[in-house]
């Protein structure tokens, strides 16, 4: 994959790229409570503290992962952890605070 994949991008651009990429995952690493209070449609919630659980959920380490949190800090840490776990295509797209689309609530 190209090096541009690993550069930080805006969350709006990242969500658009997620929706256009077959088999990609939009990964929300906020807490379950934060997720319930408003999340992007189609996102998967795996909190940063539980990021190792991804191994049992997404076994293909070539999967394109668009990772976000509240502000971009936790998603940066999550991307670093995912790379250590062998996920080659993880991209930090920043924080949901900067997202301009609609949110779903549980």
Q: Distance between CA 76 and CA 95 in Å, rounded?
A: 10
Q: Distance between CA 93 and CA 91 in Å, rounded?
A: 6
Question: Per-domain residue ranges for the chain?
Answer: 3-98
What average pLDDT does this structure show over 94-104? Answer: 97
Catalytic residue among 69, 79, 91, 93: 69
Q: Distance between CA 65 and CA 93 in Å, rounded?
A: 10
**Which position has the token pair 């992962």?**
65
CATH superfamily of 3-98: Rhodanese-like domain (3.40.250.10)
pLDDT in tens, 76-92: 999 999 999 999 999 99
69 is catalytic: yes
Amino acid 51: pLDDT: 98
């Amino acid at each position: 994959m190209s090096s541009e994949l690993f550069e930080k991008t805006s969350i709006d651009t990242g969500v658009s790229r997620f929706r256009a990429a077959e088999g990609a995952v939009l990964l929300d690493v906020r807490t379950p409570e934060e997720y319930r209070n408003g999340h992007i449609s189609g996102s998967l919630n795996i909190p940063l503290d539980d990021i190792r659980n991804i191994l049992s959920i997404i076994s293909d380490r070539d999967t394109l992962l668009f990772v976000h949190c509240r502000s971009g800090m936790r998603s940066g840490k999550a991307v670093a952890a995912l790379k250590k776990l062998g996920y080659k295509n993880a991209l930090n797209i920043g924080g949901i605070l900067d997202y301009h689309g609609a949110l779903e609530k549980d």
